[in-house]
Amino acid sequence: MIGRLIGEVYANVSRHAPSGGKYEVSVLVKTHSLEITEVNDMGARHSGSLPGGHGLRQFAAEIEHIGGSLSTDCENGIWMFHARILFADGFPARRTG
């Protein structure tokens, strides 16, 4: 899941950030969780809601199902993304049921 989520984050930067715009992605590994944070310029072309698929919504459902969180926000032309994935015994928790 983590590799797919990071791929989705970079795909969204490529899709929505202006050419030459700034972006930053960080991955922080902690004892019981992993956090991914991403911010990027949005530019004038995305002043309202973002077009696109359901990638982040699907990841949010999957991550929240195992007790983590995923949030996004867009403010003053800056897109912000944060995900926290919980670990169980040193590995990402798995969905059950």
User: What rounded mean pLDDT belongs to the chain?
Assistant: 87
Residue with tokens 């590994």: 29
The phi and psi torsions of 5 (rounded to 5 degrees) equal -65, -45
Angle, alpha carbons 80-83-86 (nearest 5°): 165
* Element (DSSP H or E) covering residue 88: strand 78-88
Contact 22, 55 (CB under 8 A): no
Q: Map out the domains of the chain with their CATH numbers.
A: 2-92 (3.30.565.10)
The mean per-residue pLDDT over the stretch 73-86 comes to 94
Tens digit of each residue's pLDDT (9 = 90 or more) over 35-76: 999 999 987 655 555 555 689 999 999 999 999 999 999 999
